[in-house]
Amino acid sequence: MRRILQRLIASWALLALAGCASVDWDYPKSESRAIQGSEDSYLGRQVADYVAAHPGEGGFYPVYDGIDALALRLLLAERAEHTIDVQYFLIHNDLVGKVFVNALLQAANRGVRVRFLLDDVLAKGLDPGLAILDSHENFEVRIFNPFANRSARALDVANLGRVTRRMHNKSFTVDNQITLMGGRNIADEYFGARPDHKFGDLDVLAIGPIVSEVSDMFDTYWNHRAAIPMAALAETPENATEALSNFETRVRKSLEGIETSRYADAVERSFDYYVGTTSNEFIWAPYDLVYDSPDKSSAETADESEFLMNQMSASIGEVKEYLFVVTPYFVLLDEDIEAFQRLRDRGVNVTVLTNSLASNNHVVVHGGYKAVRKPLLEMGVNLYEQRANVDAPADKPLPKDIPVSTLHAKTFVVDNNSIFIGSFNWNQRSLNRDTELGVIIHSPQIAGELVELVSEALPTRAFQVYTNESNDLRWKCYEDGNEVIVKKEPQTGFWKRFNAGFLRFMPIRSQL
């Protein structure tokens, strides 16, 4: 009994300490802005003629392949002469994370100003390394909406309403001349570097006036009250020069891993390989950059802030014939389901591709999605779910040692005329709690290419979900040219199905 009381007292003490911890929102920081007049940089000269030939439009290059997506980031960092602005939801301390940081650090060593804005929700344990980077005279790190408790974040219960609001934006902008944005975070699984788990994702490389707009967006976040300097959250190393030298030595060892991998050839390619010597590499089109205000990160200011969803509605207008949605997480409330019903009542063809239970990296999110399947199918929505592994049988649980593929791309096409590429998921977090970023490109060519690419893959790489004559869910796919019908969540075992079913009844759909 005495030990139980001691543990209870210790727990109460920890909670009390959690309530006392706070963020210094007024910690001194200098305001900074994107550099202007960088047209004479290498990147500026490379894109100048293309931009001049297409006034008012953006040049876009969709990036589907993970290896190309990493190579582009490294090559852009290598070509930077003035600035690199980096904004991400997460970065992992793995091969890709180390190679990425090394590229930024080498740019800073050349005199390039690096501004690195990182959300805090998955940054636990990174404080020491980020503090070392922040000690570099050309490398500044800020953390968005930080937890007050750096080592025991779960105890930050007093700030639960705030810390559950996250910055989900992803952008990488160099010399205010070229930008890369989309769905990828900085970790092995987003770039095909994890043999056991791969995320299928989508970025878009962009040039033209959109780059300055992305830079303005970044500046708004960078100078926002919620962007806290790293020095306010972690101690700066006493001997910064020595700490940086040791850090760089450790990080550069990660290059040995990439030099012997399939990334080597991609990284050795020139920037011209991707940009090309003709304007044919970029597709030029009108566009609308859309993003949430950073004020969305606070419950006190969220209701008055500018929401990405409102901007998307204004940009796209009313869907007339066709809506094609690709989203890893698909969680709707009753009012959202009613909105899909109104589309179907107008005769709009709606197709949705999302993760299956087996491919979903968040079982709890699948629990929130389960409830929407039958209502959508009843109204005539075409519903598909990603296969976790195309080589494994559809009607058996995946072996533990087999690789898993997860859909992570966030894109949708409207009337085969406009396409969205960005960080926005069709779930409640993206709608109401997390800040998001994306671009709507009014290009039938890019929209059509995406629809064609995904549609060709659906029969073998996805399950078509439908209901039989008894209104029971069924999953259809093709294996070796033969149709296969599955009666339970494909490629899963009992316990995974049980957990997803149990979580379905938790009152948390508005948080998913």
The residue extents of the domains of the chain are 37-280, 289-511
Measured CA to CA, the distance from residue 405 to residue 422 in angstroms comes to 20
Catalytic residue, candidates 134, 295, 415, 434: 415
Burial-class residue 195 by CB neighbours within 10 Å (0-12, 13-18, 19+). exposed
pLDDT band at 4 (very low <50, low <70, confident <90, very high): very low
Q: Which helix H or strand E contains 283, and what residues bound it?
A: strand 283-285
One of 3.40.50.720, 3.30.870.10, 3.40.190.10, 3.30.1180.20 is the CATH number of 289-511, namely 3.30.870.10
CB 126 within 8 A of CB 120: no
Tell me the whole-structure pTM to 2 decimals. Answer: 0.92
Instruction: Identify the top-confidence range among 42-51, 197-206, 268-277, 497-506.
Output: 197-206
Catalytic residue, candidates 68, 85, 127, 175: 175
pLDDT at 154: 72
Q: Annotated catalytic, 197?
A: no
Q: Annotated catalytic, 374?
A: no
Using a CB cutoff of 8 Å and minimum separation of 24, what contacts does 121-126 make? 121/89, 121/90, 121/147, 121/163, 121/166, 122/89, 122/90, 123/90, 123/91, 124/150, 124/151, 124/153, 125/93, 126/91, 126/93
Whether 507 shows a pLDDT value over 70: the answer reads no
Alpha helices in 120-159 (DSSP H): 127-134
Catalytic residue, candidates 82, 98, 170, 366: 170
Q: Annotated catalytic, 98?
A: no
pLDDT band at 1 (very low <50, low <70, confident <90, very high): very low
Burial 220-243 (b: 16+ CB within 10 A, else e): ebbebebbbbbbbbbeebeeeeeb
Distance set, CA 506 to CA 163, 231, 373, 376 (Å): 21, 39, 17, 21
Average pLDDT, the chain: 89
Catalytic residue, candidates 136, 168, 198, 370: 168
CB 227 within 8 A of CB 117: yes
Q: What are phi and psi of 92, to 5 degrees?
A: -105, 155
Segment 344-351 mean pLDDT: 96
Measured CA to CA, the distance from residue 400 to residue 377 in angstroms comes to 32
**Do 37-280 and 289-511 agree at the fold level?**
yes
Q: What are phi and psi of 364, to 5 degrees?
A: -65, -35
Q: What are phi and psi of 9, to 5 degrees?
A: -65, -40
pLDDT for 191-231, tens place per residue? 988 889 999 999 999 999 999 999 999 999 999 999 999 99
- DSSP 3-state of 476: strand
Catalytic residue, candidates 410, 434, 442, 496: 410
CB 80 within 8 A of CB 112: yes
Listed in sequence order, the residues at least 6 apart from 100 whose beta carbon sits closer than 8 Å to its beta carbon are 70, 73, 74, 91, 186
Q: Annotated catalytic, 410?
A: yes
Catalytic residue, candidates 136, 408, 442, 496: 408
Q: 95-109 and 66-79 are packed helices; what angle lies between their axes, rounded to 10 degrees?
A: 20
Determine the topology of domain 37-280 in CATH. Answer: Endonuclease; Chain A (3.30.870)
25, two tokens: 């929102």
Q: What are phi and psi of 294, to 5 degrees?
A: -60, -15
Higher pLDDT, 134 or 363: 134
pLDDT for 51-85, tens place per residue? 999 999 999 999 999 988 998 999 999 999 999 99
pLDDT for 292-334, tens place per residue? 999 999 888 888 888 898 898 888 888 999 999 999 999 999 9
Q: Annotated catalytic, 168?
A: yes
Q: Annotated catalytic, 415?
A: yes
pLDDT for 6-16, tens place per residue? 454 444 444 44
